[in-house]
């Protein structure tokens, strides 16, 4: 029986994915005078800050020292946090507040499974600090998405087996992580929707009854 819902944050609960992309773009422009291609930046969705920076540098054929790498990661976070100043309760993506309420009403436990070290700050700005029963800490897991660790930690945080969880994601790395954890993957947005067990074009289209009906159909089929 499905008992808990695990949520990605950036790109599912709030449109902070766009802020990450803006911050990376400015960082690369300021330091290297380059225009990072949108498709390269899009590949960082769901990846940790350091994995994202490594992917961007490698994609642009750039090499930096360890100290420069640390400095660049810190600077990107400072740029990102400036953009987060714009966040407020209206920044919750369409359909998410209703979905969270509907899950609660059906007795689901709720956990956050975000790669972001800024998650507590973002939840606070969105007015969602008290909403989740557990927030998995990305600093305490060995491997970032696409490894399953953060989803396993979130399921454990709410005392559920991963097989008894549905998990919501907007990134390819996140969908792979959910599948590796053994939970049911609900994908939001074109790419994630294609790779997930159940997909929706955007958060506004998320429909809990449809998700639960599909899970039940799959269970009775096999
Ligand atoms: P931070 P999610 C991820 O959040 C973002 O998708 C990814 O773009 C970002 O690099 C990562 O968090 C780390 O974020 O720099 O704030 O620690 O999608 O897993 O909620
Ligand atoms: Mg995301």
pLDDT digits (tens, 9 = 90+) for 1-10: 779 999 999 9
Query: What pLDDT does residue 1 have?
Result: 75
- Same domain assignment for residues 94 and 79: no
Task: Give strand pairing partners of 200.
Answer: 188
Burial pattern 120-137, b for ≥16 Cβ within 10 A else e, equals eebbebbebeebbbbbbb
Average pLDDT score over the chain: 96
d(CA 124, CA 141): 23
Nearest ligand for residue 54 CA: 1
Write down the pLDDT at residue 154: 98
Percent of the chain with pLDDT over 90: 95
Both 131 and 145 in one domain: the answer is yes
Count up the domains in the chain and report the number. 2
For residue 115, give the ligand 1 atom closest to its CA.
Answer: 19
What's 119's domain CATH number?
A: 3.40.50.1000
Tens digits of residue pLDDT in 39-97: 999 999 999 999 999 999 999 999 999 999 999 999 999 999 999 998 999 999 999 99
DSSP type of residue 91: G
Q: Is the CB of 48 under 6 A from ligand 1?
A: yes
Nearest CA to ligand 1 atom 12: 116
150 lines ligand 1 (CB under 6 A): no
96 plus 179 within the same structural domain: yes
Ligand 1 and 183: CB distance under 6 A: no
* pTM, full prediction: 0.95
61 noted as active-site residue = no
CA distance 185 to 24: 28
User: Residue 194, SS3?
Assistant: helix
Residue 42: give its domain's CATH number: 1.10.150.240
Same domain, 140 and 73: no
Domain assignment of residue 141, given as a range = 4-15+89-221
């Amino acid at each position: 029986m499905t008992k808990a819902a695990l949520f990605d944050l950036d790109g599912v609960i709030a449109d902070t994915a766009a802020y990450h992309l803006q911050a990376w773009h400015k960082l690369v422009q300021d330091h290297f005078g380059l225009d990072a291609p949108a498709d390269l930046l899009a590949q960082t969705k769901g990846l940790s800050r350091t994995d994202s920076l490594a992917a961007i540098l490698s994609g642009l054929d750039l090499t930096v020292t360890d100290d420069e790498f640390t400095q660049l990661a810190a600077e990107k976070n400072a740029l990102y946090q400036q953009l987060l100043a714009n966040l407020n309760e209206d920044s919750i993506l369409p359909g998410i507040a209703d979905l969270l309420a509907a899950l609660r009403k059906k007795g689901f436990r709720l956990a956050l499974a975000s790669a972001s070290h800024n998650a507590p700050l973002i939840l606070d700005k969105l007015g969602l600090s008290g909403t989740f029963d557990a927030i998995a800490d990305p600093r305490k897991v060995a491997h970032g998405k696409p490894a399953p660790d953060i989803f396993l930690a979130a399921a454990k945080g709410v005392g559920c087996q991963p097989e008894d969880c549905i998990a919501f994601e907007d990134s390819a790395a996140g969908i792979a992580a959910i599948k590796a954890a053994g939970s049911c993957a609900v994908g939001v947005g074109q790419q994630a929707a294609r790779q997930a067990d159940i997909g929706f074009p955007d958060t506004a289209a998320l429909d809990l009854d449809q998700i639960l009906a599909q899970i039940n159909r799959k269970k009775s089929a096999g």
